[in-house]
A and B are shown apart, each in its own frame.
Chain A
Amino acid sequence: MAYSELFTKDSVLLDLDGGDSTAVLGALTDALCAKNPELKDRRDEVLQTLMERESRGSTGTDGVGLPHVKMAGVTQVTVVVGVHQAGVEFNALDGEKVHVFFSVIRPEEGADEHIGLLRWLAGIAQHEDFVSFSCQATSKEELIALLSELASTSA
């Protein structure tokens, strides 16, 4: 499966507006749990796991955050993308605010597949116009199309 197929309209949050990292992770968690029935009744656990992961070292840099964890009892990879126009403090490596978040919940197995997905996401996120283009997207379809286009042009 192409990684771009992981993104459907219910994977996209165009209007993240949480004032801090906890609020943003909460909104991403809601979207993850709504998308994957396996996570439906595990909202608190998902949020706590993501927060713990970030507390061990921020996944934010270059305006992009990649909060991702593996969880027991999960059989499929779930990904959501969220855009925060104003940007939020995420303790990023470069000290800059984060505007675009990719959040991933994955099974405990499948390390190689996970490296493949990280490679795909990092390739997109490295594009110099990725953050500004994402913030300009006016529809979910537009953002998904942007991901596909940038993925096809990254190394």
Chain B
Amino acid sequence: MTSSVTQTVTVVSPHGLHARPSHAIVAMVSRVDVKVTLQFDGREADGRSILSVMSLGAVHGAEVVLKGEGAHAEEVMQRLVDFFEAGFEENA
């Protein structure tokens, strides 16, 4: 069953959405058959492209809109939300 999920998350990491978390997001998204986009400040990024995700320019405090479409969209979105909320799992 295909589902569509939209959720807004805040970049809590003081480092912003830099290269390493961008890489991690692409790795999460690329493993599954879910189309994920990230939106910030009028720009939209393809969740499968690290350059696209980095070009959002999402700094600390940015509110990013995540959209997922596909059979396992809810699972993938939950993992992404957890990753954002965990500050990209990096030490300040």
Residues of A within 8 A of B (CB): 56-57, 59, 61-62, 64, 66, 68, 93, 111-112, 114-116, 118-119, 121-123, 125-126, 154-155
Contact = CB atoms under 8 A, between A and B. Distances in A.
Contact of A119 (B20, B23, B56, B60): B56
A93 B26 contact: yes
Contacts of A112: 16, 59-60
Contact of B55 (A57, A114, A119): A119
B17 interface: yes
Contacts, number: 60
Nearest to B52: A126
26 contacts: A56-B20, A57-B20, A61-B50, A62-B49, A62-B51, A64-B51, A68-B19, A111-B14, A111-B15, A111-B16, A111-B18, A111-B60, A112-B16, A112-B60, A115-B17, A115-B58, A118-B18, A118-B19, A118-B57, A119-B55, A119-B56, A122-B51, A122-B54, A122-B55, A155-B43, A155-B55
Interface of B: 14-20, 23, 26, 43, 49-52, 54-60
Given A59-B23, A64-B51, 12 more contacts: A57-B23, A93-B26, A111-B14, A111-B16, A112-B59, A114-B15, A115-B18, A115-B59, A118-B19, A118-B57, A122-B51, A154-B55
B16 A114 contact: yes
Most chain B CB within 10 A, of A56, A66, A93, A115, is at A115
Contacts of B49: 61-62, 126
